[in-house]
Structure 1
Amino acid sequence: MYDGPVPDSRFPGLRRRGFLAAGGAAGLGALALTGCTGPAASDDAAGGGRPRRGGRLRAAFAGGGANETLDPHQAGLFADVARAKALFDKLADFGADLSARPRLAASWEPNAGLDRWTVKLRKASFHNGKPVTARDVLYSYRRIADPDKAFRAKASLEPLDLTASRAVDARTVAFVLKRPTAEFPNLLAAFGAYIVPDGTEDFTAPVGSGPFRFVSFAPGRSAVFRRHDDYWDGPPHLEHLEFLVANEESARLNALLGGQVEYAHELTPTTARAHEGKGQIEIIRLRNSAMQAFAMKTDRPPFDDRRVREAFFLLADRKELVQGALSGAGEIGNDLFGKGYEYYADGLPQRAPDLDRARHLLKQAGADGLRVTLDTSPVAAGFTESAAIFRDQAAKAGVRVKVAMGSKDSYWQDTLDSGTLCCYRSGAMPLESHFSQRLLTASTTNATHWRHKDFDALYQQAQSTRNTKDRAAVYARMQRRLYAEGGFLVWGFADWILGTARTVRGVDRRAPANTLDWARFDKVWLA
């Protein structure tokens, strides 16, 4: 069987270029339910039936062109992450509820102060037969944390004191932390925190500990991997896994419909409606994969007045936004991140439009006839549509919203510090990560400029609280505060849409994008 790159002539539909997976706040931004078992089969279309060994699955993703790499610490696009998780492993990864689940780590145990954690490694080996050891773990984390490099997981590993951390023995790592960190397992599961062999810098023919071995790689075109029979979590059902680059959604769809691929990543709601239940291909919706919101700058007029922020919460018709901007492919939000995730405050009343109350609050704040600019861009699905819909909704209460179109290339950086109101999106991550990366005074991606020392103190209290129930109570307090006066108007949670051939089995329908069981091909088979 041919193991090399696939010539373009075999897949003319895959030559089209143009669309890249969104980065920044929309990125990966980013998994099995237990440490040593695969995802449960869903219904007969996507999972179910007796697994069959063998075959080659071809998966189409948007890519990154000639600069693509198999260095897992540089993974940024969805295609990068899918390839990385096929070749490599992390110590932990995120389950469907965004809680950390063990992978290469067999266990983790803190000291009483939550600033020392002991991690025991399970028995696993790299593709060259060498065992995964504590030295490999420390090398990988120190490489990621290199101050001269810009690896994705660097910020997540910041709480670690990697100079003081050490290998106790071949399969035990003693981690020293700079401060109490109750959610330490989230560090192990951080996006991009893959374990590579000690000393590895060359990834032209990478050696990992993942379910598939490297065969070939043509950046911007294809990657071919082969089953790793000695994988610690059991060998994959597939013999070969092939990633193909198709940047435009239409190219991925046409390749799937034409039988040139068996898996197409990131399809549109329009495509889903056109093909769902028609029998030619299977449409799979990964619920709660992307938060859709408007971000209000809380440190400048008019949104430095909490009454104005509350008024804007009440201007939004979330059902109309989900239907219009997402074509119905999602669920309404309630001004909080992480619906369905661990620690999410699901007991708060669901907000509904209340134009009379909104007008009253605006009048109290001296903001009658308010005019505000809403920054948007075609950088992410639903942004321009949601901006237009919200403009019309706000007008019903006398608020004039001017929609300003920004650059796709610089939108995320432009809106981080400039403007007052912007469209915003985020991929899956634990609530703790959302707090630490976006809502603390020192957070580097604080798009709402929410900076409150008492809120910072609550976060530190949660991180110093060992008991999970007590920690959840602190997170609930933080969410009640954000619900009442925060800067994120979270109007929806978008589905992530995949397409597969009818012969594909074992795709987990429960896992949001960026969790372990998303784009996890070691448990997939061909009927």
Structure 2
Amino acid sequence: MMGDDVTQQEQAGVLGPYSRRTFLRQAAGGAAVVGAGGLLAACGSSGKPASTNTSGSPSSSASGSAGTPKKGGTLTLASTGGGSSDTLDGNNAVENLDFARAPQLYDTLIEVDQNNNLYPHLAEEVTSNADATMWTIRVRKGVEFHNGKTLTIDDVLFTFNRIISNKFSAASGLQFMDLKNAKKLDAYTVQIPMTQGYSILEWALVGNGEISIVPVGYNPKSPVGTGPFKYKSFTPGQQSTFTRNANYFLTGKPYLDEVVIVDYSDEASQVNALLSGQATCADQLSINSVNTVKSGNKVANVWGGPGWVPFTMRLDQAPFSDPNVRMALRLAVDRPQMQKVVYGGYGFLGNDIFGITDPLYDHSIPQRVYDPEKAKSLLKKSGHEGLTVQLVTSDIKTGAIESATVFKQQAAAAGITINLNTVTSTTFFGPNYLKWTFAQDWWSGYPYLRQAGYSMVPGAPWDETHWDSSPYASKYISLYKEALKTPDPSKQAPIVHEMMQMDYDYGGYIIPAFNPVIVGQSPSLQGVVTQKTGDPWIEYRFRDYWLG
């Protein structure tokens, strides 16, 4: 991970005479960009970040956590990106708002703290033998589901089997479990053998909305969890309401009486709801909203984290089946400039390798630099000189449309014409999701091997680059399995580094930056702390906050 001694200027480069407004207007062919609720055209012309902090991890202006928590009140989150396919299913979240709703209703065995470190939550113990071929899981006693049922290890096993049988996304992290030979030691403890050593199981047990623990016989139409809030109402694409769980197992929590999550059409509407007092907080904001939020006497937080919004190229579709084309497009990105324009210089530079905060991340691989002349040469070599491609973009996450717009401008210097196909988030995540030839996506940010399980190996639920069908897949999966059964990090590192080198040389991801988390909130929202996780308010953990 880039340390705090890396200055913002070193990370982000300098825009020179360009402001974000000027750059994005030119990139859009002279028209103001409207992708983030029309706010881009209203940002300041200095091109400077909203904060004077110069460290690699941006400062937070979070409301203070001092004082005694107070009971009562309603927190209203203004979000965006939902649609008719929204769900309350604790194991099948897909869209942005699904992941915001899930932590209200459900809990997971393991969580991450504000520094993105693991700790047990519903679990009291998750341990393995020396070679990670046998894992023991023990859950807390005295935890109740919303229907009054007591949590036991049967619910954990039911959850695991439900995920695997339905082929939900978390199944990729459970694929090495031999559940048929699992041995219950008592009502709260189980030993689960693995079909091979699996050293990263703890990370596979993180992820509310994917591996939330649900009760035996669970019905997502009448959602029951152990979470801090209970289901009250839900209208997909519009609004959901949750009420306080008085029997929550964490003593004294939650403090709030109610959490309401409202889906807005765009960022401008979100910000207006915050400024007018209709909303307590708003997520997924762009850097251009920071000053607007502050000028309205609200709090703007900019947190560094492992999240990323990549460009995705399908290796099984022309022209991206040609590694020279993929490399040309990677060289057609001016990463420092893009980070400056889109994220105000916050976050971390990308190098087409995911997992920036993983201790195993290989920082010795040379930083990719902008080289339009070399990109031209590669395209000519491949017979694709003067390449024209269509990029599918959508307002799916902070900076997505803005990044696409900047990429269009930067790639022109390499003779590449990028035509933007801007679609709604509902369309983006519709039947063509994961089938787009050249598109974008978003990730909250996982350690490298867990992310590989999500998007790179056979059976990966989100194989958006179709790496599994590439000529590199066989060697990659061999390395992946070897790394999983190697618990010693010092021995695991060189294996992972070889996988990362393959990503760097041949992969289908363009990762210009690891984006900051930008939110706005009322000063009345208390208990908020600086975080290093990929989703805001430490994975939308509203149980920990109160209204002053």
TM-score range, shorter chain: 0.7 to 0.9
Please state how far the C-alpha of 1:447 moved relative to its aligned partner: 2.8
Aligned match for 1:403, one of 419, 427, 446: 419
Please state how far the C-alpha of 1:487 moved relative to its aligned partner: 2.3
* 1:392 alignment partner in structure 2: 409
* 1:298 alignment partner in structure 2: 315
Please state how far the C-alpha of 1:429 moved relative to its aligned partner: 2.9
- Structure 1: 5+ residue stretches without partners: 1-18, 21-41
Equivalent-residue separation in structure 1 for 2:61 and 2:287 (angstroms)? 23
Equivalent-residue separation in structure 1 for 2:220 and 2:331 (angstroms)? 54
Identity %: 27
Equivalent-residue separation in structure 1 for 2:433 and 2:332 (angstroms)? 22
* 2:293 alignment partner in structure 1: 275
Letter of the 2:107 counterpart: D
1:484 and 2:505 aligned: yes
- SS of 2:308's equivalent in the other structure is strand
CA distances 1:393-413 after superposition (whole Å, capped 9, x unpaired): 23323x232415265454465
Letter of the 1:349 counterpart: P
* 1:176 alignment partner in structure 2: 193
Question: Kindly tell me: are residues 321 and 463 of structure 1, through their superposed partners in 2, closer, same or farther at Cα, counting changes over 3 Å?
Answer: same
- SS of 2:217's equivalent in the other structure is coil
Equivalent-residue separation in structure 2 for 1:392 and 1:71 (angstroms)? 40
Please state how far the C-alpha of 1:442 moved relative to its aligned partner: 4.9
TM-score of the two chains, using structure 1 as the length reference: 0.80
Tell me, yes or no, if the aligned pair for 1:123 and 1:232 is still in contact at 8 Å. Answer: no
**1:42-441 map, 5 Å:** 45-62=62-79, 64=82, 70-95=88-113, 100-126=118-144, 127=146, 130-147=149-166, 151-191=168-208, 192-201=210-219, 204=222, 206-212=223-229, 214=230, 216-219=232-235, 220-228=238-246, 231-236=248-253, 238-248=255-265, 249-276=267-294, 278=295, 280-288=297-305, 290-299=307-316, 301-326=318-343, 330-362=347-379, 365-367=381-383, 369-380=385-396, 382-397=399-414, 399-405=415-421, 407-408=423-424, 409-411=426-428, 414=432, 416-417=434-435, 419=437, 421-441=438-458
Please state how far the C-alpha of 1:281 moved relative to its aligned partner: 0.5
* 2:22 alignment partner in structure 1: none
CA distances 1:1-22 after superposition (whole Å, capped 9, x unpaired): xxxxxxxxxxxxxxxxxx99xx
Equivalent-residue separation in structure 2 for 1:388 and 1:71 (angstroms)? 34
1:501 and 2:522 aligned: yes
Please state how far the C-alpha of 1:488 moved relative to its aligned partner: 1.5
TM-score of the two chains, using structure 2 as the length reference: 0.77
Segment drifting more, 67-76 vs 485-494: 67-76
1:523 and 2:539 aligned: no
Tell me, yes or no, if the aligned pair for 1:59 and 1:244 is still in contact at 8 Å. Answer: yes
Equivalent-residue separation in structure 1 for 2:89 and 2:378 (angstroms)? 52
Please state how far the C-alpha of 1:135 moved relative to its aligned partner: 1.4
Tell me, yes or no, if the aligned pair for 2:293 and 2:520 is still in contact at 8 Å. Answer: no
Tell me, yes or no, if the aligned pair for 1:374 and 1:423 is still in contact at 8 Å. Answer: no
Tell me, yes or no, if the aligned pair for 1:96 and 1:515 is still in contact at 8 Å. Answer: no
Tell me, yes or no, if the aligned pair for 2:110 and 2:118 is still in contact at 8 Å. Answer: yes
- SS of 2:486's equivalent in the other structure is coil
- Structure 1 or 2: larger strand share? 1
Tell me, yes or no, if the aligned pair for 1:287 and 1:495 is still in contact at 8 Å. Answer: yes
* 2:23 alignment partner in structure 1: none
Equivalent-residue separation in structure 2 for 1:521 and 1:388 (angstroms)? 34
Equivalent-residue separation in structure 2 for 1:507 and 1:344 (angstroms)? 29
Please state how far the C-alpha of 1:174 moved relative to its aligned partner: 1.5
Letter of the 1:171 counterpart: Y
Equivalent-residue separation in structure 1 for 2:369 and 2:452 (angstroms)? 25
CA distances 1:484-504 after superposition (whole Å, capped 9, x unpaired): 332222112222322111121
Equivalent-residue separation in structure 1 for 2:280 and 2:405 (angstroms)? 36
- SS of 1:473's equivalent in the other structure is helix
Please state how far the C-alpha of 1:383 moved relative to its aligned partner: 4.3
- SS of 2:193's equivalent in the other structure is strand
1:470 and 2:491 aligned: yes
- Structure 2: 5+ residue stretches without partners: 1-35, 38-58
* 2:9 alignment partner in structure 1: none
Question: Kindly tell me: are residues 368 and 90 of structure 1, through their superposed partners in 2, closer, same or farther at Cα, counting changes over 3 Å?
Answer: closer
Equivalent-residue separation in structure 1 for 2:232 and 2:67 (angstroms)? 30
Please state how far the C-alpha of 1:307 moved relative to its aligned partner: 4.1
How many positions carry a matched residue from both structures? 480
Tell me, yes or no, if the aligned pair for 2:486 and 2:492 is still in contact at 8 Å. Answer: yes
Q: CA RMSD in A?
A: 3.3
